[in-house]
Chains A and B, each alone.
Chain A
Amino acid sequence: MRLLPRLIGFLVAAFIAAPLLIVVPMSFSTAPSLEFPPPGYWLGYYAAYFSDERWTQPTINSLIIAFGTMLLTMLLVTPATFAVVRHRFLGRGIANLMLTMPMAMPHIVLAIGYYSYLGDLRLTQTHIGVIIAHTALSVPVAFLILSANLKGFDRNLERAAMSLGATPLRTFWHVTLPVLRPGFAISALFAFIQSFDETVVALFISGRESETLPRKMFESIRMQADPVISVVSTLLFAAVVLAILMPVLWKAVQSRRSRSGSGSAARGNGPAITGTAPSDTNPCAPARVQLEA
C-alpha cells in the first residue's frame, strides 16, 4: 500500500503550506478585520496599501535597507571569502568562525547588542544603523554560499587565463567573476532577503524614520488586525515566488534567444546546440549542502 504514505505526506505538506496560501484570499476580502473565509471580495485593501504613506514608506525603507545590506555584505564577503578559501594564514580558522557565528546567535541577543552599541554611535533609528546590523546577519549566509561556489571553482581556468596573457586583475574580471556569477547572484539575493525579512533587530533599531515593513506589520497586527497586512503578505509571497522562478525563466529566455538568432558566432552550427553558458551550474546546490552540514 503506497497510497497511505503519500496521503500522509500530502496532508503534512498542505498543513504547512495552508497558512501561506490562506492570506491570498484574505487579501481580497471585504471583511473589516482578518477573517476566513472572506464574506466577499474586492480590491479595496490593495488600494489602501498603495495609497497610504504609513504603508508605502516602510516598504521603501525596507527596499533601501535591503539593497544597502546586500551591497555592503557583498563588498565585505567577496574579499573575505577569497582570503579564507584560497589562502592559509594565521587566524584563518578564527576568521572562518567569526564570519559564520552571527548565524548561530539568537537575533534578540544581537538586537540588544546593536541597540546599545549603535545608540552610542547615535546610529539607532537611521537607515545606516539598520543596514550595519542587518549586514552582520547577512554575512554568514552570503559567505557560506559564496565559499561553496569558490571551492568548486577550477583554478586551472585562472592559470589558463594568465598563461594566455591576462593580468591577475583581468583574469578576475574576465574569467573568475563571470564563471562565479551565479554564485555571486544567489549570495547577494540571500543577503537581500535576509535583510528584507528581518524583524527582531529592526524592532529594536529602526525608528519612525527608518521603520521597515516587517516592523510596521508587527505593530499593525498588535494594534488592530488591519487586513492590509494580508495584502502585504500576498505581495511578499508573490515576490518570493517570482525570485525563485527567475533563474528558471531566465534560462528559458536565454535558450530561446540562442536558438533563434545566434548570429555570426554560431556560423554553421547544427540545430542541436542550445547555448546557456554558465547559468546551468546550479549555484544553490553546494551551498545547501554546506548549510545543512
Chain B
Amino acid sequence: MPDPYLQVSALTKSYGSVTALGGVSLDVEKGEFVTFLGPSGSGKTTTLMIIAGFETATSGTVKVGGRSLSNIPPHARNIGIVFQNYALFPHKTALQNIMFPLNMRGVPAAEAERRARAMLDLVGLSDYGGRWPKDMSGGQQQRIALARALVFEPSLLLLDEPLGALDKNMREQMQIEIKRIQKSLGVTTIFVTHDQSEAMTMSDRIAVFEQGRIDQIGTPQEVYRRPSTPFVARFVGDSNLLPGIVLDPEDGLVRTEHFGLLRLQDRLPSAIGAKVTLMLRPESIHVAEPDARGAADRPNRAEVNVHTIVPYGESTLLIGRSGGADLRIRLRAQEADGIGSGTSLDVLWPASAVHAIPAA
C-alpha cells in the first residue's frame, strides 16, 4: 500500500495556554477533493495555514508525496491558495496576476503569457486579461484568483472559504465551476468552509472539525447518514437526537426517554443498559395512514402535537411535541397542507432511518 499523497499527522497548535489544535490527523489521496467543515474557531483554517506554511505547528508533521514540509518556507512549497477576499494584487491586471507565479519561477515571458491565457480560457474569462481587479465582480475576481493559484501546477490547492463573500446564486455557480476546474486538472484540493451544503455538494470526503479536532472523516453520505458524534449530526444537516438506553443489542432495540421504543435495522455495538444517542433525520419521518392506531405501543412510531410550522418552499418543517420533547419532521410541501398549529399527528419512520451514536 503506497503512502497517501498528503499526510497530516498529529498536528497540535497552542497559543500560550490556549489549544487551537489538539491532534489533527488525516490522509488525502492524490486528486481527491477534501472539505474541512466546522464552525469558526474549530481549527480548520489553522490546519490549512499550517499546511500552507504561514503557521508553524507546535507538534506533528505534514507530508506531501512522502516529503516533510516542516522546514520548507511557504514560497518553496508549491501550494496554490485562494483566500476568502481573493487577495488579487491591485496594482496588476488580471493577466499580470496570473503570470506572477510563473514570473517568480523564471518562466520566459512569452510562455508565461501563453499559459496564463490558457488559464483565463479555462476559467471562462478569456477577454478579461487587461482588467484591473477593482473593475471586476466578486465572482470574476474569484476565478482570477483560482487561475493564479493553479497556473503553476501546484502539488496542492487550498481554498480558504473562497465562496463566503459571494451572494447565493453566484455561490452555487462557483461551486459547480470550482468542481469542474478541479476535476479537469485533477489537482488535490483542500476546501475550508463552515457551510455544510457547500461541503455536501463539492466534496469527495468531508472532515468535520470540532474544537481543534476532527470528529469524523468520510464521504458526504457517510457523514450525513452515519454521523459519529452528536456534534456531527447537528452540524451536518437537520436532525433529531434522542437519548436512550439499549434494551437488546442483537435485535437493535432501544428505549428512549420521550418517544418510547425505537428499533434499528442493524445490531447495536453496545451492551444492554448502555447509554446511546439515536439520530433521526426529519425528512425520514412520515405521517401514518389514518387507519392504524395505538401509536405509543409500537416501535418507531409517535404521536406528536404540532406547534411550529416553517415553510421552505419545496418542503415544510413541522416541530411537534411528544412526551416533553420536540420532534422535527420535514414533509413535502403538499403533504403538509392542512396541518396547522395544534394538529395532532401520528408519525412513523423506518428502522433503517435510525442511526445510533455511541455515547462518548
A interface list, Cβ under 8 A from B = 154, 156-157, 159-168, 170-171, 174-175, 178-179, 181, 262, 265-269, 272-273, 275, 277-278, 280-281
In order of increasing CB-CB distance, the 8 nearest A-B pairs are: A266-B130, A164-B101, A165-B104, A268-B127, A160-B87, A156-B87, A162-B74, A163-B81
Closest to A265 in B: B130
Ordered by A's residue number, 27 sampled pairs between the chains whose C-beta atoms are within 8 Å are A154-B87, A159-B54, A159-B74, A159-B83, A160-B89, A160-B148, A162-B53, A162-B73, A162-B75, A163-B74, A163-B80, A164-B104, A165-B104, A167-B73, A168-B75, A171-B75, A179-B91, A181-B91, A265-B96, A267-B130, A268-B127, A269-B127, A273-B132, A275-B130, A275-B131, A275-B135, A278-B91
A164 vs B130: C-alpha distance in the bound complex, in angstroms?
20
How many chain-B residues does the 8 Å CB contact rule pick out? 40
Residues of chain A lying within 8 A (CB to CB) of residue B105: 165
A275 vs B90: C-alpha distance in the bound complex, in angstroms?
11
Question: Is B95 part of the contact surface with A, judged by Cβ < 8 Å?
Answer: yes
A273 vs B101: C-alpha distance in the bound complex, in angstroms?
25
A175 vs B104: C-alpha distance in the bound complex, in angstroms?
12
> Chain B 48-78 against A: per-residue CB contact (8 Å), 1 yes, 0 no?
0000111000000000000000000111111
Flag if A166 contacts B93 (CB, 8 Å): no
Residues of chain B lying within 8 A (CB to CB) of residue A170: 104
> Chain B 93-125 against A: per-residue CB contact (8 Å), 1 yes, 0 no?
101100011001100000000000000000000
A163 vs B77: C-alpha distance in the bound complex, in angstroms?
7
A159 vs B77: C-alpha distance in the bound complex, in angstroms?
13
Given contacts A154-B85, A273-B135, contact A164 B93 (CB under 8 A): no
Flag if A277 contacts B91 (CB, 8 Å): yes
A interface, by DSSP: helix, strand, loop or mixed? Answer: helix
Which of A157, A178, A262 has the most chain B CB within a 10 Å cutoff?
A157
Known: A181-B91, A265-B96. 12 other contacts (CB 8 A): A160-B81, A161-B100, A162-B53, A164-B149, A165-B78, A165-B101, A165-B105, A167-B75, A175-B89, A267-B127, A275-B93, A277-B92
A275 vs B132: C-alpha distance in the bound complex, in angstroms?
6
Given contacts A165-B152, A266-B130, contact A156 B100 (CB under 8 A): no
Flag if B85 contacts A164 (CB, 8 Å): no
Flag if B130 contacts A262 (CB, 8 Å): yes
A272 vs B127: C-alpha distance in the bound complex, in angstroms?
14
Q: Kindly identify which residue among A157, A167, A267 contacts B129, using a CB–CB cutoff of 8 Å.
A: A267
Question: Is B79 part of the contact surface with A, judged by Cβ < 8 Å?
Answer: yes
A243 vs B305: C-alpha distance in the bound complex, in angstroms?
77
Q: Kindly identify which residue among A156, A157, A160, A273 contacts B131, using a CB–CB cutoff of 8 Å.
A: A273
A96 vs B54: C-alpha distance in the bound complex, in angstroms?
27
Residues of chain B lying within 8 A (CB to CB) of residue A156: 83, 85, 87
In the assembled complex, the CB of B214 is this many whole angstroms from the nearest CB of chain A, namely 24
Residues of chain A lying within 8 A (CB to CB) of residue B128: 269
Q: Kindly identify which residue among A154, A161, A163, A280 contacts B52, using a CB–CB cutoff of 8 Å.
A: A163
Closest to B84 in A: A156
Flag if B104 contacts A265 (CB, 8 Å): no
Residues of chain A lying within 8 A (CB to CB) of residue B91: 178-179, 181, 277-278
Q: Kindly identify which residue among B79, B80, B87, B127 contacts A157, using a CB–CB cutoff of 8 Å.
A: B87
Q: Kindly identify which residue among A163, A167, A281 contacts B79, using a CB–CB cutoff of 8 Å.
A: A163
A75 vs B121: C-alpha distance in the bound complex, in angstroms?
44
Residues of chain A lying within 8 A (CB to CB) of residue B148: 160, 164
A259 vs B83: C-alpha distance in the bound complex, in angstroms?
31
Flag if B90 contacts A277 (CB, 8 Å): yes
Residues of chain A lying within 8 A (CB to CB) of residue B104: 164-166, 170
A265 vs B105: C-alpha distance in the bound complex, in angstroms?
21
Flag if B93 contacts A159 (CB, 8 Å): no
Residues of chain B lying within 8 A (CB to CB) of residue A277: 90-92, 132, 134
Residues of chain A lying within 8 A (CB to CB) of residue B79: 163
In the assembled complex, the CB of A16 is this many whole angstroms from the nearest CB of chain B, namely 37
Quick one: which of B150-167 are within 8 Å of A by CB?
Answer: 152
Which of B74, B79, B95 has the most chain A CB within a 10 Å cutoff?
B74
In the assembled complex, the CB of B345 is this many whole angstroms from the nearest CB of chain A, namely 51
Given contacts A159-B74, A162-B74, A165-B101, contact A265 B81 (CB under 8 A): no
Closest to A170 in B: B104
Flag if B81 contacts A157 (CB, 8 Å): no
Residues of chain A lying within 8 A (CB to CB) of residue B73: 162, 167
In the assembled complex, the CB of A272 is this many whole angstroms from the nearest CB of chain B, namely 8
Residues of chain B lying within 8 A (CB to CB) of residue A269: 127-128, 130-131
> Chain B 28-61 against A: per-residue CB contact (8 Å), 1 yes, 0 no?
0000000000000000000000001110000000
Residues of chain B lying within 8 A (CB to CB) of residue A267: 127, 129-130
A174 vs B102: C-alpha distance in the bound complex, in angstroms?
13
Which of B75, B85, B126, B152 has the most chain A CB within a 10 Å cutoff?
B75
Given contacts A154-B87, A265-B95, contact A163 B75 (CB under 8 A): yes
Residues of chain B lying within 8 A (CB to CB) of residue A154: 85, 87
